[in-house]
Structure 1
Amino acid sequence: MTNSTCLLQPSLATSVALPVIYSLLFPAGSFGNILTAWIFSKQAPTKRTQYIYLGNLVTANVLVCSTMPFLAAYFARGYQWSYESIECKIANHLGTLIMHVSMYATIIILCSTAISQYATLKKTSDTQYSQAVNENFYRCVLEKFRQPKFAKYLCIIIWFTVLCITVIAIIYNAKARTAKDSYRCYNIIVEAGEFTARIASCVATACFFISFMTVLLSYYCLNKHLSKIQKTTCIGEKHLIYNTVKRNILVIQMILTVCFLPYHIFRPIFYVLLINNDCPSRYLVEIKNFLTCLAAAKSSLDPIIILLLDKTFKKSLYGLFTKSTPEHHERKADIFTEETSKI
């Protein structure tokens, strides 16, 4: 059982560096994601599956960015707040909790986007080289991810789950706090969580690795599929589309690897170290917090990634600063190509 009176003395890395980082990420991420959301709502083809996923991804990013001021305040002054203070409750509920559930919504949406990309490419390629089993799998599972109706329902389920988890966690924390005697907000209970919080973290970690391996498998299957069709036919003008989709899935894989993987590798290690040490070194806690910050930073970088990858977004952003759009842009599809969206 974690010692509720365990004192954590934050270093300058926690009380200065983290607040500064979150304070810088907040305006940049908020502006970029709000601008992206506005462009999508005004000019993006809303019936395309990829924009349903991207729109919900931007929503999750906005939620993560909105928690950054609370996280900055928590790390800057949390060691001075009372555990029962309103500031501590707000920082935990509107900061840490919402940031984490939104982060996992982001991970699931990224995974769904990668599957949608693979399904779209497989649909546009020549299916005569696929085996019957693969075709059945495609019709039963993969094809769903490229359907706008399925994408909408999936995103609704994701956000409904996020809402339920948030409400349940807030109610549970509100009831559990009355039995605690810690006098500072920045303590091991908040940083490590109690037994139920750790179980939830383990489930979330498992969810991440399932998503991570799914995207990795999609990239592997894509490479295998392209190698097979290149040996038997000349893909010609579709070569650019295939390379673009391949790049998109690779980018998603890199985001999961760079931003989320270190945190999810370290967190189980952190919990294991707590089993025999109820009052761990502050450096373990700070490593966890910096890896969490790395995961949150992804939400601020997404608008830049979308700008670099999505040609329709580039065209729309370009149109904001010019009177007319070049004619050749009108004939180009965005990189999340869905040539068979009407099928």
Structure 2
Amino acid sequence: MRNSTCLLQPSLATTVALPVIYSFLFSAGSFGNILAVWIFSRQAPTKRTQYIYLANLVTANLLVCSTMPFLAAYFARGNQWTYDSVVCRIANHFGTLIMHVSMYVTIIILCSIALSQYATLKKNRVTQYPQVVNENFYRHILEKFRQPKFAKYLCIIIWLTVFSITIIAITFNVQAKAMGEFHKCYNIKIEIGGLVTRIAAYFATACFFLSFMTVLLSYYSLTRHLSKIQKNTCIGEKHLIYSRVKRNILVIQMILTVCFLPYHIFRPIFNILSTNDDCLRLNYLVEIKNFLTCLAAAKSSLDPVITLLLQKTFKKSLYGLFTKSIPEHQNCKDDISTEETPEM
């Protein structure tokens, strides 16, 4: 790379603001997600599709949170560590690997949850309207996302695929770094990466936009269908189901838009502009990338709050910690309602 001799000089935004933000996200995210794990382990039926997705989502959140202390230390002290030090290698290799694996596992699982929610609409439409063969085929595919067995295998495949791609990229990147001499841990090679890292970043960006557009089209299709049937028929009790599905898909869309979209819009721009020789520009680009990565990581700390707002069983269980009494008939009623319309 032409800019390999550029020395990064982190500003106070990197050495102070990012460590403070990551420390706060670590505390809030760890507490919230551990609480979610405890409540789900006591209340959640393990064979229900929605909880399979949520369990994997919480696992990814906890993994992201586990990297935050290393990332906070890296941004605070990385410019003082030597490249060959143990703390530098742990902070970069562990932090980078787990952070990116968990990020893309989260994105794909969120897309899967949206499809399982959208399948609820298709399931309820099947008894009301005659469908053509092609639509029946698409409905059959969608219905797979509501099946516990399929959800388990899908999550396993997601984890293995994302792990494999990330490990390959990190391995090639480490080998490329071994050929050069670097004095500081916080350097251009680590922050930009090699050719394989760039290719993996483009692939990951394409994966994100595929998931993003899938959720967006699901929401658009659902909104259009609801508008159509509300004009022509009275959907009665089904209205509550459709409203919940629409709300849940909208929340997923907002998460993808607020937390992940800025990073994935900027990442290709970063890859292109980072080949320039302007060292000052590179410093700015790297810091913008790191803050947008932090924004994506913040999603892991916000998830318990979102779950509290959308998941009735989780909310009642949390209230039960303080009241010590959750009526059995209410629990049964919630289980019945969430079976038909999975909550986030």
TM category (shorter chain) comes to over 0.9
Q: Alpha carbons of 1:193 and 1:175: their partners in 2 closer, same or farther (altered >3 Å)? A: closer
Q: Indicate conservation of the 8 Å contact 1:117/1:245, yes or no.
A: yes
**Which residue does the alignment assign to 1:191?**
191
Matches within 5 A, 1:247-258: 247-258=247-258
Q: Indicate conservation of the 8 Å contact 2:173/2:194, yes or no.
A: no
Asked whether 1:233 is paired with 2:236, we answer no
Q: Alpha carbons of 1:336 and 1:154: their partners in 2 closer, same or farther (altered >3 Å)? A: farther
**Number of positions where the alignment pairs a residue of Structure 1 with one of Structure 2:** 340
**Which residue does the alignment assign to 1:315?**
316
Q: Alpha carbons of 1:172 and 1:281: their partners in 2 closer, same or farther (altered >3 Å)? A: closer
* Greater shift in the superposed pair: 182-191 or 243-252: 182-191
Distance in structure 1 (CA, Å) of the matches to 2:2 and 2:335 = 51
Give the superposition deviation at 1:86. Answer: 1.3
Distance in structure 2 (CA, Å) of the matches to 1:192 and 1:332 = 52
Query: Aligned letter for 2:103?
Result: M
Give the superposition deviation at 1:150. Answer: 0.4
Query: Aligned letter for 2:120?
Result: T
Q: Indicate conservation of the 8 Å contact 2:169/2:200, yes or no.
A: no
Q: Alpha carbons of 1:291 and 1:340: their partners in 2 closer, same or farther (altered >3 Å)? A: closer
Classify the secondary structure of the residue corresponding to 1:18. Answer: helix
Q: Alpha carbons of 1:194 and 1:97: their partners in 2 closer, same or farther (altered >3 Å)? A: same
Cα deviation code 1:123-174 (max 9, x no counterpart): 12354435312122111x1011011110000001111223323543454344
Unmatched tracts of structure 1, length 5 or more: none
Classify the secondary structure of the residue corresponding to 1:281. Answer: helix
Q: Alpha carbons of 1:156 and 1:181: their partners in 2 closer, same or farther (altered >3 Å)? A: same
Q: Alpha carbons of 1:336 and 1:119: their partners in 2 closer, same or farther (altered >3 Å)? A: farther
Distance in structure 1 (CA, Å) of the matches to 2:160 and 2:110 = 17
**Which residue does the alignment assign to 1:275?**
275
Distance in structure 2 (CA, Å) of the matches to 1:327 and 1:100 = 41
Cα deviation code 1:251-276 (max 9, x no counterpart): 00000000000010011111111233
Q: Indicate conservation of the 8 Å contact 1:80/1:185, yes or no.
A: yes
Q: What is the TM-score when the length of structure 1 is the normalising length?
A: 0.93
Give the superposition deviation at 1:98. Answer: 1.1
Give the superposition deviation at 1:335. Answer: 10
**Which residue does the alignment assign to 1:325?**
326
Give the superposition deviation at 1:340. Answer: 8.6
Matches within 5 A, 1:101-250: 101-129=101-129, 131-132=131-132, 133-139=134-140, 141-250=141-250
Q: Indicate conservation of the 8 Å contact 1:120/1:338, yes or no.
A: no
Q: What is the TM-score when the length of structure 2 is the normalising length?
A: 0.93
Distance in structure 2 (CA, Å) of the matches to 1:221 and 1:337 = 22
* Greater shift in the superposed pair: 221-230 or 272-281: 272-281
Classify the secondary structure of the residue corresponding to 1:15. Answer: helix
Matches within 5 A, 1:78-93: 78-93=78-93
Distance in structure 1 (CA, Å) of the matches to 2:337 and 2:188 = 44
**Which residue does the alignment assign to 1:299?**
300
Classify the secondary structure of the residue corresponding to 2:20. Answer: helix
Distance in structure 2 (CA, Å) of the matches to 1:112 and 1:321 = 34
RMSD: 2.0
Q: Alpha carbons of 1:147 and 1:275: their partners in 2 closer, same or farther (altered >3 Å)? A: same
Classify the secondary structure of the residue corresponding to 1:117. Answer: helix
Q: Indicate conservation of the 8 Å contact 2:110/2:252, yes or no.
A: yes
Distance in structure 2 (CA, Å) of the matches to 1:278 and 1:211 = 34
Q: Indicate conservation of the 8 Å contact 1:310/1:335, yes or no.
A: no
